[in-house]
Amino acid sequence: MGKGSKERRVPVSEPTIDAIKLWMKVRREVVVESDPISDVVALFVNSRGKRLGTRDVRRILDARSLAPTHPHALRHTFATHLLDNGADLRAVQELLGHSDVATTQRYTHVSKERLKSVYGVSHPRA
């Protein structure tokens, strides 16, 4: 669930599905459930057996990043890569779950800057 209690859907590749299936086979051996009564099981949990929160994700990212970052940067990077590689703005809007295309358009600024940069380096008359 996302901001505003919106349900978020995440497209995944076949290799990702295979990896999740492998994880689910061993998950019960390495994860101690903190709430055995709950009928909702989180795919990924923290060391206490509770579902990962935004702080947990931030700690994981910071431990693996060259510079401190934020989980929202993943959404931003995802959108920017899609737009940089020719994805339709409406498709990106749908993938991000934005109700207004204007919200998605803020990512086009970065893509326009990238386009200018590529044009300046690549075009013989730039």
pLDDT tens digits for range 53-97: 888 888 888 888 888 777 778 888 888 888 888 888 999 998 888
Question: Can you give the residue ranges of every domain in the chain?
Answer: 3-52, 72-122
Report pTM: 0.60
Alpha-carbon distance values, 30 to 2, 26, 52, 97 (Å): 27, 7, 15, 33
Eight-class DSSP state of 100: S
